[in-house]
Copies of this chain bind each other. A is one copy, B any other.
Amino acid sequence: MTRFGFTIHATDGKARTGTIAMRRGEIRTPAFMPVGTAATVKAMKPEGVRAAGADIILGNTYHLMLRPGAERVARLGGLHRFMNWDRPILTDSGGYQVMSLSELRKITEEGVTFASHLDGSRHMLSPERSMEIQRLLGSDIVMAFDECPKIDQPRDVIAKSMEMSMRWAQRSRDAFDAGGEHAEGAALFGIQQGALDEGLRNESADALSAIGFDGYAIGGLAVGEGQEAMFATLDFAPGQLPQDRPRYLMGVGKPDDIVGAVERGVDMFDCVLPTRSGRNGQAFTWAGPLNMRNARHAEDTAPLDERCPCPTCTTYSRAYIHHLTKSGEMLGAMLMTEHNLWFYQQLMQALRDAIAAGTLAEFARGFRSDYFRG
């Protein structure tokens, strides 16, 4: 069986639609990966995540290494068995999240030492330890360990950080390849850095291509730069990466971010937005986001979205979801999370269909018109 194959079925402008084939299943691209931070896509059973249309989910190395612990997950048979998800799992490297612990961590060439946000205990992450943890978890797509710098720093700071990330990319590659049986079944992605700078992004892409990865992530974006700056970077960054490998934009994003990034040649996404919003009373619809706490929904018998075939929309009214949300009922979070995951997967399917039909520009125009008029 294929360890990792990527077939592009059709292109439309810079956009591509295809299939990633892996031992645990196929991933249709462009793909959106729901985030399962702590070995659970919050408020969802795994069968509901699959029913929504997800081919792959994401797990967080940082959270899982602290609780329940990577060695413990390995003793329990790996993350798939632990959480009852038998399809592919991509794990991040933990780099982004430990960098966010601004006061609690120290970065050296060797790696990062940091204090757990749970109990203050000291931990270390390096390319080697990150690869070990992702192997212990049984990850299908392993991410290289990188530094994700603050975006608004001088070019030389961004350059130095990117260069260290490229040395860490080589160390990640070496450590991954030494992983024995796990390396035979899993894939390793490199992560391009360089913030908003075209030259640095190009250097980073060249360094990664020289090492060689199964796929390539665009890192360091969606960190507060805004959509305009992100799209400006995506006008050149995906094209710097190998044409025949999947390109993964990490941590993105809002539905309109995803549409714009797909138009610019991105194949994979992950974001907490559909799940987190579902717990905070926000529903995504083709007519834009809805705040379900708003009293105008109190007697509205319509579903969240008239066009949505999800279990929430075919069963429950806005009035009921408003009531649950106002009452702080868990079922409100459950129903809205489910709807939001379905909405995101329907959006991805619509993007795949439009690319296959060669009508992406028209689809994107119509999407934005409906979404921002709502």
Interface contact A329-B40, CB-CB below 8 Å: yes
Q: Given A42-B330, A43-B330, A334-B330, A315–B72 Cβ distance below 8 Å?
A: no
Which of A39, A279, A319, A331 lies at the interface centre, i.e. has the most chain B CB atoms within 10 A of its CB?
A331
Interface contact A327-B38, CB-CB below 8 Å: yes
Count of this chain's copies in the oligomeric assembly: 2
Chain A, 325-337, contact with B by CB distance < 8 Å: what is the 0/1 string? 0110111011000
With an 8 A cutoff between CB atoms, is A117 at the interface?
no
Residue of B nearest to A331 (CB): B40
Interface residues of A in 262-306 (CB under 8 A from B): 279, 298-299, 301
What's the nearest-Cβ distance from chain B to residue A34, in Å? 13
With an 8 A cutoff between CB atoms, is A307 at the interface?
no
With an 8 A cutoff between CB atoms, is A320 at the interface?
yes
Interface contact B83-A329, CB-CB below 8 Å: no
User: How many residues does chain A have at the interface if contact means C-beta atoms less than 8 Å apart?
Assistant: 34
With an 8 A cutoff between CB atoms, is A373 at the interface?
no
Chain A, 305-324, contact with B by CB distance < 8 Å: what is the 0/1 string? 00000000001110110011
Q: How long is the Cα–Cα vector from A125 to B39 in the complex, in angstroms?
A: 47
Chain B residues near A40 (CB, 8 Å)?
324, 329, 331
Q: Given A72-B299, A82-B319, A329–B42 Cβ distance below 8 Å?
A: yes
Interface contact A84-B315, CB-CB below 8 Å: yes
With an 8 A cutoff between CB atoms, is A45 at the interface?
yes
Interface contact A327-B72, CB-CB below 8 Å: no
Residue of B nearest to A72 (CB): B299
Q: Given A298-B68, A330-B330, A334-B330, A320–B75 Cβ distance below 8 Å?
A: no
Q: How long is the Cα–Cα vector from A330 to B41 in the complex, in angstroms?
A: 10
Chain B residues near A75 (CB, 8 Å)?
299
With an 8 A cutoff between CB atoms, is A44 at the interface?
yes
Chain A, 40-57, contact with B by CB distance < 8 Å: what is the 0/1 string? 101111000000000000
A-B contact pairs, 8 of them (CB 8 A): A40-B331, A42-B329, A45-B334, A75-B299, A76-B317, A83-B320, A84-B320, A279-B330
For the complex with contacts A38-B324, A76-B299, 6 further pairs of A-B residues with Cβ separation under 8 Å are A39-B323, A42-B329, A67-B327, A76-B301, A82-B319, A84-B320
> Closest 4 CB pairs between A and B?
A43-B330, A40-B331, A68-B323, A38-B327
